[in-house]
């Protein structure tokens, strides 16, 4: 583990202690979730970044009770000129300062971008089936087969990407990450050129389809 990552983890731990302890100076206003997948995308110009910002506004719901999430409408990134196969719905829970919650949907026969990030996350398979290629730091890559009702835990900086093996039906996850904590503490993730390169390759693949 690099010094950058060690520093980030220590800062996250300290921040979590203050937040969970109830820091009285912390705002209780609604947290607007910037799309949780933003750290996995690579923008080559301001237009691409603006397209993603616009998509985030369209695809975000605010509230406390979100009903029928297993069948809720999701929004296609590609239709909004964001080069990713996923459709998403971001759930901005009122008063949340640690967690981000979002729905990810992968089309039939497709896979999302190989990526990693500093936040731990869990993914609950709401519908569909497939597999994830998963590689934690310092370990060998694993193939994790899953179906509806399964839950996957992903440590920070673990490489992962998911494949929908159903040719006719989408694959839908409910994902919860700790990204809001890093955002609210003003912590920027360390540069990760390898992660960016996977995003660039995925974008080029989709733009030529």
Residue 8 scores a pLDDT above 70: no
Q: Average per-residue pLDDT in the chain?
A: 83
Structural domains of the chain, ranges and CATH numbers in brackets:
3-19+44-207 (2.60.120.10)
128: helix, coil or strand?
Answer: coil
Structure tokens given for 79: 């239709």
Higher pLDDT, 24 or 112: 112
What was the pLDDT predicted at 44?
57
Cβ count within 10 A of residue 20: 10
- Between CA 10 and CA 174 the distance in angstroms is 27
- Between CA 52 and CA 203 the distance in angstroms is 13
What was the pLDDT predicted at 161?
97
Q: How confident is the model at residue 7 (pLDDT cuts 50, 70, 90)?
A: low
Distance from chain centroid for Cα 160: 11
- Between CA 184 and CA 19 the distance in angstroms is 10
Structure tokens given for 192: 């990760």
Structure tokens given for 25: 């100076």
Among 143, 135, 92, 99, smallest CA distance to 115 is for 135
**Alpha helices for 59-192 (secondary structure H):** 179-184
What was the pLDDT predicted at 4?
57
> What does the pLDDT average to over 131-160?
97
Residue 119 scores a pLDDT above 60: yes
Which of the listed ranges 44-48, 96-100, 189-193 does the model predict with the highest average pLDDT?
96-100
């Amino acid at each position: 583990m690099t010094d950058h990552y060690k520093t980030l983890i220590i800062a996250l731990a300290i921040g979590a202690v203050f937040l969970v302890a109830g820091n009285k100076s912390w705002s209780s206003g609604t947290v607007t979730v910037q799309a949780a997948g933003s750290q996995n995308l690579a923008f080559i110009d301001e237009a691409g970044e603006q397209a993603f910002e616009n998509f985030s506004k369209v695809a975000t719901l605010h509230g406390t009770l979100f009903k029928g999430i297993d069948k809720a409408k999701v929004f296609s990134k590609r239709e909004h000129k964001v080069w990713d196969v996923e459709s998403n719905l971001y759930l901005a829970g009122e008063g949340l300062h640690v967690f981000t919650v979002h729905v990810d949907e992968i089309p039939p026969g497709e896979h999302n971008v190989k990526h990693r990030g500093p936040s731990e996350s869990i993914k609950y398979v709401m519908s569909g089936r497939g597999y994830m290629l998963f590689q934690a730091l310092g370990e060998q890559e694993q193939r994790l087969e899953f179906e509806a009702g399964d839950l996957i835990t992903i440590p920070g900086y673990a490489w992962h990407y998911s494949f929908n093996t159903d040719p006719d039906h989408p694959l839908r996850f409910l994902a919860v990450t700790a990204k809001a904590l890093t955002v609210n503490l003003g912590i920027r993730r360390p540069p990760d050129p390898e992660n960016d390169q996977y995003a660039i390759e995925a974008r080029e693949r989709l733009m030529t389809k």
